[in-house]
Structure 1
């Protein structure tokens, strides 16, 4: 049980370091990671309390600690998202990830009495399945992104081992009275602390990609242009290079080469030119005059007012507001 107490302390200390931005780098990503380890600490403390006098002394302690179970996985995912894509802006769609956590809190507040007895087992399976799926999604982001960081991959592997220990605990735990589980958690917490405290800035580096011949470049260009016109994937504010590559059914490296060598643009330059064109269309449209400029930016695929204004002015020489005034004046004058 000593190792379990030490693990709790390690997780809470690591959480404090990350949330307080003591490392002074990747602040938003580290805060999300700190929230993940804080909730992991709650889960560990709940395990300790269930097997100690704390359970009887503080009957509400365990239910309170359990409220964050379904918020752990989204916190980990958002941390990885901000590590690999620092310009990501959290919007309303992202909060959908926390709906299971909200439902779980409502159940703990008293609605569980209306559920069948098997509901507890389903909740436990749901927590484990969610952790596994979100970890896989996060690890794929690390591997598929243009960002390369050995320490971040090692961190995800460390977290993955801790999750694997948790998933296998119903079978391995009882054999050793959960002693080996606690030791593995403690080692994982130590390794995570070591990696996070010594983390370095994630720099984008050139990716060695297979060259495409002229015929392939021409074919992929046509396919990409058709995709942008017919499906308008750029209107998705969460669109990434791997996501666009998946739409095209080509590798990330091939798409990167197509954009850089074939079109002489990076991913964001290419996508934002379509978003600005869409915004100009909406700003000029009579049927969209009731929409605010910010709403039009969101409609075009931008995820923040700053990104919209910056990209629009860079490509047109005007702010969206200035552009709309000119369009309205021209319509009023009839020319």
Structure 2
């Protein structure tokens, strides 16, 4: 597995790491198998978060068996206050069954108002800086879906890493990554498959790794098979062919910009609609000519798109500012039951 230095840290990270969002869906045995195979494939970087339900706990159990010292471990929290962050780190240490965390990140800082608060005397950054001085965390990072926020984070000089979505569809971060590289700040790439919307994962990851400003890409993984598949672009270093590029560009064009990345931040729906799955199933209906398959899946959902009460809570939480209510109406219009 190729390795790159993570910005100004001393961490030499595998160019493909383990994204911890979907691991919350598996059992302990599978989690251990995933982490063991990640090590076998040369991955040494794991990224998770307090917000990913039991992801930290499962990874912690896996690291106990496979070996904590073999990985550079990153997690993050959406808590914004000083006191709250001290408690969050304590919980992360317990969940991950470790005495230290290599990289702790401010998670999904959405607005400049949020950014200014976390940077204030009462904000979460002060807690992380104190914990770094104590040797409890190694480095401090920040994740966001907003370019403006990460521009400010880079300029502040307070962060060793930034984390941002990047793939063949979403390329708005490229100037940001160049700026980060010049300031010796590590660049962690989330959503490399646009939340699963891009179907050819191997080519999607190769596209990202061609950008020398990127430090590590963290595709979400919930099976041993996915570990092997996602590791391959980081091992064999094959460049994209012209045919590969044409396929990726065609897929990116077909997706446009208004699509769900399956981040799950819209949840919970006030009446229990599984919003991401509604969009996923409908993509098979509209883009992949699998109408019968999608229709059968929709019949198993309750409640589903047509039951939306238009309360708007999901739209407030969506980091991409998607018009979820109208998108659910569009989904419902495709079916006559």
Instruction: Give me the TM-score of the superposition, normalised by structure 1.
Output: 0.26
User: Which of the two has greater strand per residue?
Assistant: 2
